[in-house]
Structure 1
Amino acid sequence: MSKKLVFVYGTLRKNQSNSSCMKHAVLVASQCWTSGRLYDVGVGYPAMVSDSEQKVYGELYKVDVDTLREMDLLEGYHGPGLDNLYERRQQTIYTDVGKKQAYVYTFREEQATGLREIKGGDWKVDHLLKKKQLYYFAYGSCMDQERMVEHDVADYFTNVLGRGNLQSYQLAFTITAGDGGRADVVESDGKAEGKVYQIGSEALAYLLVREGVEEGKYRPSFVDVEVNGVMLHDVLTFVVVDKQSETAPPEHYAKEIIRGGKDYLSSSYLQKLEKEWKEKFAINIQKWL
């Protein structure tokens, strides 16, 4: 039976109200985007319209004919040229490992008149960031308590749940500052480790500024992270918006990652970082362990 690729950006995403529709689908990419403009319909789901200048974030799945038929029913799509709630069209989806062509369900421009535009293009982020308490997965220098003290925000990050294991991602340095690369998590067949905190609104406000969200450097994203044998769903983290080829991090930044993570990261993960950083960047982390 032939399979189709479908990009979803609303209630069909992981942990959302219609995710059960995707039970037979195969997840291809969790961190991906396509061109479009996103709106809140106002009754618990979003709608996307065409816009080549903006981005809509979501997930990419491979689905069978039966699942696609169920999705068509949910989205009110009856066929080309018919009285559809959403149209189904193909367009380019951008993932961490390349481009794909996939189906996307969209509104016509006139259907979005009067609706609230979702700035940032991520419906899941738009409603989850309104929660008073969040779990937060830190994988870079935000693990470093000394740096938090220097920035006078240590009191926002006192509730540490433990080591977080983020499957199907890897640590990389895909954005540069003036003195070198900064950390990111990129989808792969590997695993990234970090610290998981429970945070409130003050910590969130600080992170949004620190990660340069307004400037388009990093964007909030929600991932599933295992902590102490328990899977936590919809854990906040930050990923680089426009990923570039890896650049070596400066030594002071690499030190912050190891200093902040060494009491939480597994010995096998630290050994992996030691090997990779020595080979790729000529950085020896042993002096910080």
Structure 2
Amino acid sequence: MKLFVYGSLKRGGKYHCYLDEATLIAEHAVAKGVLYDSGLGYPAIVLSGSDDIIGEIYDIPDELWPALDDLEGYTGGAETDLFDKSVTAVEVAGEEVEAVIYVAKDKSLLNSIISDGVWDESQTLFV
């Protein structure tokens, strides 16, 4: 299953090590939505907007999903989950690819909009 990453899981991100066993499918992918700085050292996304969100796509082996879900605060339905998993269309080199994306469930993560759609950890105060 493919995963679109747009924050701390990207190459160079503090949690990219979680993807050591994953295969990079696309270095440049674009999802539609709104990207937010959570103020906590990682971004959050909602799919209800139309901004370009820049990220990467990885093929994730089944055995990695539990660790990723734990990192993202996703249990599969608890009211206290930080993120939900959604499948969305992502553009890669002019082609549409379906990928899983972790989207904000906890609305307190939607601190300030990142208008250019690119998460850069070096700009955050809480890394």
Q: Normalized per residue, which structure has more helix?
A: 1
**Aligned-partner Cα distance in 2 for 1:98–1:126:** 30
Q: Normalized per residue, which structure has more strand?
A: 2
What is the aligned counterpart of 1:40 among 37, 40, 54?
A: 37
What is the aligned counterpart of 1:50 among 28, 47, 56?
A: 47
Tell me the percent identity. 28
**Aligned-partner Cα distance in 1 for 2:91–2:43:** 20
What is the aligned counterpart of 1:11 among 8, 13, 33?
A: 8
The Cα shift of 1:110 comes to 3.4
**Aligned-partner Cα distance in 2 for 1:94–1:56:** 10
Q: Secondary structure at the match of 2:28?
A: strand
The structure that has the greater radius of gyration is 1
Aligned residues: 123
**Aligned-partner Cα distance in 2 for 1:51–1:126:** 27
Deviating 4+ runs (over 2 angstroms): 108-113, 124-128
Contact 2:25/2:57, CA 8 A, preserved across alignment? yes
Contact 2:88/2:100, CA 8 A, preserved across alignment? yes
What is the aligned counterpart of 1:124 among 93, 99, 120?
A: 120
C-alpha change, 1:121 and 1:69, in structure 2 (3 Å) is same
2:78 matched residue in structure 1: 82
1:99 aligns with 2:113: no
The Cα shift of 1:90 comes to 0.4
- Higher relative contact order (CA closer than 8 Å, sequence separation 6+): 2
Scaled by the length of structure 2, what TM-score is found?
0.88
Unaligned runs of 5+ in 2: none
Unaligned runs of 5+ in 1: 129-289
One-letter amino acid of the structure 2 residue matched with residue 74 of structure 1? L
**Aligned-partner Cα distance in 1 for 2:113–2:23:** 30
Contact 1:118/1:126, CA 8 A, preserved across alignment? no
Contact 1:31/1:95, CA 8 A, preserved across alignment? yes
Scaled by the length of structure 1, what TM-score is found?
0.40
TM-align CA RMSD: 1.9
**Aligned-partner Cα distance in 1 for 2:17–2:93:** 25
**Aligned-partner Cα distance in 1 for 2:31–2:39:** 22
1:22 aligns with 2:19: yes
Contact 2:13/2:121, CA 8 A, preserved across alignment? no
